[in-house]
Amino acid sequence: MAVAIVVHGGAWEIPPRLVDRHERGCIRAAQIGHDVLRQGGSALDAVEAAVCDLEDDETFDAGRGSFLDRDGNVSLDAGVMDGDSMKSGAVAWVSGIRNPVSLARKLLEQGVASLLAGSGAEEFARESGFSIVPPEAMTTEAAIEFYRTHRSENPRQIFEPLPRGTVGAVALDARGAIASATSTGGLPGKRRGRVGDSPIVGAGYFAETGAGGASATGHGESILTVGLTRVAVDAMRNGLSATDAAAVAVEALRHPKIGGAGGLITLDANGTAGHAHTTSRMARAWIDVNGDGAMV
């Protein structure tokens, strides 16, 4: 059976000077995930490998280089779902974890909980043998600069949905299994304890073998209300193509009372990738049954 993967690096008004970096990062991550699939790896292995690579790339708001929260710290959310077992694992508001998506996967496999937050998630990381890195190891000059500039210019501004570069991946493996993962540093300047859609199953990510998978990005509060990725996978289960399912989900995000901004990637059970977004740009790359491509 054909294998396929689609990845994204956020939906926002990506300025022209950052387009190349976003495109290169997405293409590389899609290739890494695809290599895993070609070598017989599972969809879960592929989305983890692709998202780890995106987390390690400072271009994106995930892992190292994420935007800082209101207190000037990196605080990360990630979730992953195995569409075969329909089990998910997620961590929220963790610091000092290089690859939160791997911690989310560990939780999925251990099954002690679906979602662990804050110090409880970090305790689970230590118990599971993850190394905890110091805050400086996760913070970049660019993130500090962004924080300083926006804080001094206008403290209100950093609470607004400015740049976003959440990352995600959806894969279909040779056995027909589908998995999905999403990872983020969240909105810049978010207040302590604020958790968006990214680590919430059905909102930031969802996968169901035989139906499809999806990973979302954008204004977390709106995506939570819609249950964006669940809407898309339901639509694929009901026979819509990956592209049409993504469009249906984004339409729900545009509900006049919600008015959300963002987007999602989708992959159906036949290995065709789709996407839709309300923003001017969305960074993504795919290697699916119809070929490969990238677009920012």
Residue ranges in contact with ligand ASP by CB under 6 A: 10, 61, 164, 166, 184, 186-187, 196-198, 217-218, 220, 223
Smallest separation (angstroms) from ligand ASP to the CB of 283:
11
Q: Which is nearer to ligand ASP, 205 or 286 (CB)?
A: 205
CB atoms within 10 A of CB 141: 9
Q: Are 167 and 9 in contact (CB under 8 A)?
A: yes
Minimum CB separation of residue 42 from ligand ASP in Å reads 26
Among residues 139, 166, 217, 278, the one annotated as catalytic is 166
CB of 276 to ligand ASP, least distance (A): 15
Of 41 and 196, CB closest to ligand ASP: 196
Tokens of 132: 């905890």
Report the residue number, 10 or 212, with the smaller CB distance to ligand ASP: 10
Pairing of strands 273-277, 4-12: unpaired
Q: How far is the CB of 127 from ligand ASP (least distance, A)?
A: 26
How many Å apart are CA 226 and CA 107, to the nearest integer? 25
Taking CB atoms, the residue at the shortest distance from ligand ASP is 220
Amino acid symbol at 222: S
Q: Let me know if 166 is a catalytic residue.
A: yes
Q: Which long-range contacts (CB under 8 A, 24 or more apart) does 16-25 make?
A: 18/59, 19/281, 19/296, 21/59, 22/59, 22/60, 22/165, 22/283, 22/296, 23/283, 23/285, 23/294, 23/295, 23/296, 25/54, 25/57, 25/59, 25/60, 25/283
Q: Which is nearer to ligand ASP, 35 or 221 (CB)?
A: 221
Q: Roughly how many angstroms between the first and final C-alpha of the chain, as a whole number? A: 29
What are the catalytic residues? Answer: 166
